[in-house]
A = this chain, B = another copy of it.
Amino acid sequence: MEIRNNTYTLRNCRYIVNPTGEIRKSENIVIQNGIIKSVGRELEGDEIDCSDYIVIPGLVNSHTHSPMTVLRGYYDDAELEDWLNKIWEFEKTKFTKELMKIGSELAILEMLGNGTTAFVDMYFNPDQVAELAEKYKIRAFAGYTFLDSLFDPYEIDKKQRRLKKNEYFVPIINVHSIYAVSENTLKIAKQLAEELQTWIHIHVSETRKELYTIKKRNGLFPVEYLAKLGLVNQKLQMVHLGWVASWEIETIKRNGSTVTYCPTSNMKLATGGSFPFKEMLKNGINITLGTDGTASNNSLDMFQEMKIGVLLQRQMYWNVETKAIDLFQSSTINGYRLLGIKGGLIKEGYVGDLVLIDSHFVYPLSQDKLFSHLVYYVDGRYVSKVIVNGIIHDKDNILRILAEKVKLLENSYLDSTNP
């Protein structure tokens, strides 16, 4: 990565695109100590010519499982339950901590290269993720995962309390799902989130079977059940919700929780149902977007995820109510809202987390087509530079390091990633 002086200017940006719909042409962005100091005519410090770039806020991947990058293509053509059993078997028997770290490292490099500046991660190695986030300068949010078949919840509680925050890493509480933990575990997680002042990140209502299971076990639908336990509040992030009921959307709205849409993963695992994007939007709920892990996507490209996100909504509703800009908001400003960081907007006082897109092949390029191009046409291949906390990552450099790490994986670990 490239570290500039504390103050520098992205000069003459071809376009500056904000998720509010605002587009500026040929203006400058001054960044000081990692924060946007001004957007307009000012120039200060080193100057970087941006006349070929479309500049957008950094993309937040709100749900992934970074170590699983080494499991890309591991077991593809299966529905969720079958798939999950296969994955859990690998995790129990073969997934060493060393290999998990390589997976997270590869995922971080891929995400940076595709314009992701922050990610929310659910896995078993948050200590390593913290170390890697600081090493590569990407914002990571991760924690140990409550998952009763693999771990004792009291152990997770203890380890979680020892997990340290750093400039690029914030611990969060991961709970796999309601069906994979006991009520007691949920209570431990709730207590822990309150004490550590962080949020709970959990898979909810992913399949129809999950609904039946929870209803049978607890007499309530998943979101209702979480609400009964007092978990549905501003410190809850529910992922998937392909099978959420209309009255549960009311509950989410009332309690201010964040929801995360993972269209590719849901489709690939044939979970049926579909995330009710427009109902969530109408209710003013904070909708974020995630790629999910590479074993169920299998990409880590938020641009592709935005596109597939619109496509799935249009397919399910037979109308075009969901628009490109809605997904762009989910991936930027809404993501930063979840993270509790003043980001996702290119505006004075917001964090210097930005993506510079090479505009040479984005055509025909005019102001009114920008959101369309960003969601339906552009993908990670057009990302030239990624800025996190004011630190500039050059794409070529990211790819060079990624290639080295891939070689390392292939020389040492490949055999263990075959079923």
Query: Is B409 within 8 A of A364, CB to CB?
Result: yes
Query: Is B79 within 8 A of A319, CB to CB?
Result: yes
Query: Is A312 within 8 A of B267, CB to CB?
Result: yes
CB distance from A412 to the nearest CB of B (A): 11
A361 partner, pick from B74, B369, B403, beta carbons under 8 A:
B403
Query: Is A361 within 8 A of B77, CB to CB?
Result: no
Q: A320-B79, A377-B72, A377-B298 are in contact. Are A365 and B270 (CB under 8 A)?
A: no
Query: Is A363 within 8 A of B308, CB to CB?
Result: no
Bound: A74/B264 CA distance, A: 26
Bound: A418/B366 CA distance, A: 8
- Against B, the Cβ 8 Å flags (1 = close, 0 = not) of A360-390 are 1101111011001100110111000000000
A410 within 8 A of B: yes
Query: Is A315 within 8 A of B272, CB to CB?
Result: yes
Q: A320-B270, A364-B410, A364-B414 are in contact. Are A379 and B379 (CB under 8 A)?
A: yes
Bound: A270/B72 CA distance, A: 31
In the complex, chain B residues whose CB is within 8 Å of the CB of A294: 377
Q: A77-B320, A297-B376, A298-B376 are in contact. Are A270 and B314 (CB under 8 A)?
A: yes
In the complex, chain B residues whose CB is within 8 Å of the CB of A418: 366, 368
A214 within 8 A of B: no
Q: A406-B360, A406-B361 are in contact. Are A73 and B298 (CB under 8 A)?
A: no
Bound: A315/B311 CA distance, A: 12
CB distance from A366 to the nearest CB of B (A): 6
In the complex, chain B residues whose CB is within 8 Å of the CB of A355: none
A417 partner, pick from B268, B319, B364, B376, beta carbons under 8 A:
B364
Q: A298-B376, A399-B361, A409-B363 are in contact. Are A311 and B267 (CB under 8 A)?
A: yes
A167 within 8 A of B: no
Bound: A316/B264 CA distance, A: 13
A23 within 8 A of B: no
In the complex, chain B residues whose CB is within 8 Å of the CB of A88: none
Bound: A147/B77 CA distance, A: 42
Bound: A409/B323 CA distance, A: 27
Bound: A79/B320 CA distance, A: 6
A410 partner, pick from B299, B320, B363, B409, beta carbons under 8 A:
B363
A247 within 8 A of B: no
Residue of B nearest to A418 (CB): B366
A12 within 8 A of B: no
Query: Is B318 within 8 A of A402, CB to CB?
Result: no
Bound: A299/B307 CA distance, A: 11
Query: Is B72 within 8 A of A414, CB to CB?
Result: no
In the complex, chain B residues whose CB is within 8 Å of the CB of A271: 318
Query: Is A376 within 8 A of B268, CB to CB?
Result: yes
CB distance from A370 to the nearest CB of B (A): 8
A310 within 8 A of B: yes
In the complex, chain B residues whose CB is within 8 Å of the CB of A366: 414, 417-418
CB distance from A321 to the nearest CB of B (A): 9
A274 within 8 A of B: yes
Query: Is A363 within 8 A of B270, CB to CB?
Result: no
Q: A366-B418, A409-B363 are in contact. Are A311 and B72 (CB under 8 A)?
A: no
Query: Is A403 within 8 A of B364, CB to CB?
Result: no
Query: Is B311 within 8 A of A406, CB to CB?
Result: no
A-B contact pairs, 8 of them (CB 8 A): A72-B373, A77-B320, A106-B363, A268-B314, A270-B315, A270-B320, A297-B376, A361-B399
